Amino acid sequence: MRTLYHPSLNEMNLSTVLYALSDQIRLDIVKSLDENGEESCSAMEIPIPNSTLSHHYKVLRESGVTRTRLEGTQRLISLRYDDLNSRFPGVLPAVLQGLKNKKSPKSNA
């Protein structure tokens, strides 16, 4: 079985984390993980092809934003909230707060 790469705390790079958080699909994943806690890849209802979704999971994991835990045939994903807050204080809380404050397109009508 292939080992998944997760950067150590010292390997985390702010520009890589910000790049990972610069895509709306990845932000939707982060928001879902913040609201629901650890989730399996298949439990997230994001309407894009699985290959594209796998790419987004990989970007988040390899930047240090998420951790993927293998359990049997499932991959369980969680936010590395404490690690990110330790390395880059306030970045993830600010992003999450911004997501909560963001108006949905329907609320502008």
Give tens-digit pLDDT for 56-109. Answer: 999 999 999 999 999 888 999 999 999 999 999 999 999 999 988 876 555 444
Work out the mean pLDDT of the chain and round it to a whole number: 90
Answer whether residue 55 is part of any domain. yes
Answer whether residue 43 is part of any domain. yes
| Domains held by the chain: number | 1
At 107 the pLDDT is: 45
Q: At 37, which CATH number?
A: 1.10.10.10
- Residue 7, both tokens: 């950067």
Q: Are 29 and 95 in contact (CB under 8 A)?
A: no
Q: Which residue has the higher pLDDT, 80 or 2?
A: 80
Answer whether residue 29 is part of any domain. yes
Burial 62-92 (b: 16+ CB within 10 A, else e): bbbbbbbeeeeeebbbebbbebbeebbeebb
**Enclosing domain of residue 22:** 9-94
At 105 the pLDDT is: 52
Answer whether residue 102 is part of any domain. no
CA distances 62 to 16, 67, 82, Å, are: 9, 9, 16
